Structure 1
Amino acid sequence: MKEVTAAIIIKDDLILIAQRGKDEKEEGMWEFPGGKIEIGETDEQCLKREIKEELDIDIEVGDFFGESIYDYSYGEIKLLAYFAQFISGEIKLSVHSSIRWVTIKEIDKFNFAPADVPLVKKLKNLGAI
């Protein structure tokens, strides 16, 4: 099972979601950005690195939010999600086709990748961010 991180990035009470790009697995679906944990890397280090690589922004990783396990056709993943605060930078897309800053009420309008769905439900149950 691969362990993957996801950042629930919050700025001004909005949550950043990203649409998976062309030629990516689950192309066109939405997700909380993040990526695979490398050997010797903590979850927090992974998130900072992945967000910098994928979006060119700096974040501060906060509290652990939750996990989701999903068995895709290409293998099982454990998605480890953390709250994060946007610190600085201007978003530049490299692997995603689009990003959106959404409210908790708007989040249901987007088609999320299966591993992210339980995290979306958990966020909705929390209500306001």
Structure 2
Amino acid sequence: MIDVAAAVMVNEARQVFIAQRNKPQELAGMWEFPGGKIEEGESPKESLIREIKEELGVEIKITRFITESIYQYNFGKVRIFAYLAELSSGEIEVKEHNAASWVDLAELNNYQFVPADVEIVDQIKEELN
């Protein structure tokens, strides 16, 4: 199983930050909450802070755990640990995605999310409304 940590970043306007994948091919063009693989010896939170710094060039403050999502892709099973987070410093620079956007909760249904993130979308819409 591939363990991943994801940040559900919410701004003062209660918008959620999402990013459009560019790989692998079967997920390219779909949207996700940014984050990445948890490396050996890292906690999910440590991984998430590192990944957001690498992918977006910003520091985040993790406020709490939201949910865990498990999905079986054709390339393997993925388990995502999703955390609510906020920007603590820096300006977002999209480095590893095709695009990114701050989106109102009501607009999340207009985006095609990677299958493993759909459960997270449902959870945050319920919790943040």
Q: State the TM bucket, normalised to the shorter chain.
A: over 0.9
| Alignment partners' CA distance in 1, 2:128 and 2:18 | 17
Mapping for residues 45-56 of structure 1, pairs under 5 Å: 45-56=46-57
Structure 1 counterpart of 2:81: 80
Structure 1 counterpart of 2:9: 9
| Alignment partners' CA distance in 1, 2:109 and 2:76 | 26
Calculate the aligned-residue CA RMSD, in Å.
Answer: 1.1
Residue 24 of structure 1: how far off its partner (Å): 3.1
Residue 57 of structure 1: how far off its partner (Å): 0.8
Tell me how many residue pairs correspond in the alignment: 127
2:5 partner amino acid: T
Tell me the secondary structure at the aligned position of residue 86 of structure 2: strand
Tell me the secondary structure at the aligned position of residue 52 of structure 1: helix
Runs of 4+ in structure 1 deviating by more than 3 angstroms, as ranges, are none
| Alignment partners' CA distance in 2, 1:97 and 1:49 | 20
Structure 1 counterpart of 2:64: 63
For structure 2, list consecutive stretches of 5 or more residues without a partner in the other structure: none
Please give the TM-score of this superposition, normalised by the length of structure 2: 0.94
Tell me the secondary structure at the aligned position of residue 115 of structure 1: helix
| Alignment partners' CA distance in 2, 1:53 and 1:24 | 18
Mapping for residues 1-129 of structure 1, pairs under 5 Å: 1-12=1-12, 13-21=14-22, 23-25=23-25, 26-128=27-129
Deviation track 1:89-114 (CA, whole Å, cap 9, x = no partner) reads: 11112210111101111111100000
Tell me the secondary structure at the aligned position of residue 72 of structure 2: strand
| Alignment partners' CA distance in 2, 1:88 and 1:34 | 17
| Alignment partners' CA distance in 1, 2:99 and 2:88 | 20
| Alignment partners' CA distance in 2, 1:87 and 1:124 | 23
Residue 10 of structure 1: how far off its partner (Å): 1.0
Residue 49 of structure 1: how far off its partner (Å): 0.3
* Higher helix proportion: 2
Please give the TM-score of this superposition, normalised by the length of structure 1: 0.94
Percent identical:
43
1:70 partner amino acid: Y
